[in-house]
Structure 1
């Protein structure tokens, strides 16, 4: 699988970065006495750090680009803010989608629509990280717009649905682990940290690599379709 090969190519960077992020998250957990607010702030900033560099490096590898380490670091820091804001917005959409599933029929329908919208927005991070010729003000709106439009072209949605299904399965797994730890008399904050944070952090880079591969494949299909139309 191409995404696995691309991840393995940069694993020597992704794994230390992920472990460093996990170490910082652990320190936040300990130093703030398991403060939920501080943990959420840490996750909101640190996980996008992994995402933005996984997106940039995977795109560079697929495009055959060679970039100096300083250029890569600068590029990531330049676009980190956009990925943070995008993930913040998607996080609220996730929460709304799953909350709605426990409501009446109308609520479940709205929850389904929210999940569908989330699926079409999975590539927004990649656009924000990798597209160069975009103004700062237009970056986030264009990230959402391009992710949605690419999702509905040439059967691309099918691959994105698989990613969303994997993410939902991951959420179900961490919910199960959280309940298991609660039954073993861990506090709610401890159970949430131990069940969610290590797994989510270590899987962030693989998911980002896979999403970047899909995004660039979608772009290639779009260009080919336009070329044939001309």
Structure 2
């Protein structure tokens, strides 16, 4: 039995995995969706990126989880990649779902496709937070109107420090046993840093014909991909 620890991307909380968790548990595995500090029902908790890494490590250690598969979506790939190094032999693998990946000494905004200035301006204008999603942000991503409404209504401002603090890696990320899920409606090709990691014998690529939030648009298919990652 594997234990999946599921972390959604910016603005979202554990609730984002509501349609994925039952599929994993039906397969006989543990499923532990996690809300990071400063988000959703934990909005009042101060958070930087190191806080988010510790959130993940603490979840694994406090629940005494073994055979752990860390699942990081979007922004959360950055703290997940760092936490994977810190949980030692508890780790069975990592699944990065259309996510950023950490680079030692670099932050989330360092690699933001639209330029870091856009994110930093939003953080400055929103009192230290990245403004939450709008309906327009979700268009063209394979989502129904109802799914878009769920995402937008559930989104909360994202703590800015988690986006600007640099990652700290002790070992090469390519040494981790990892699956990278590329959602094709959000771009046909992985980013350059992900493409470099996919040359590792420990990494594999899986494509989904959907947008950036597959836990909403194709939750059952995403769950099958997660289960397949355990079977390998």
TM-score by length of 1: 0.28
Q: Structure 2 length as normaliser, TM-score?
A: 0.28
Larger relative contact order, structure 1 or 2 (CA cutoff 8 Å, min sep 6): 1
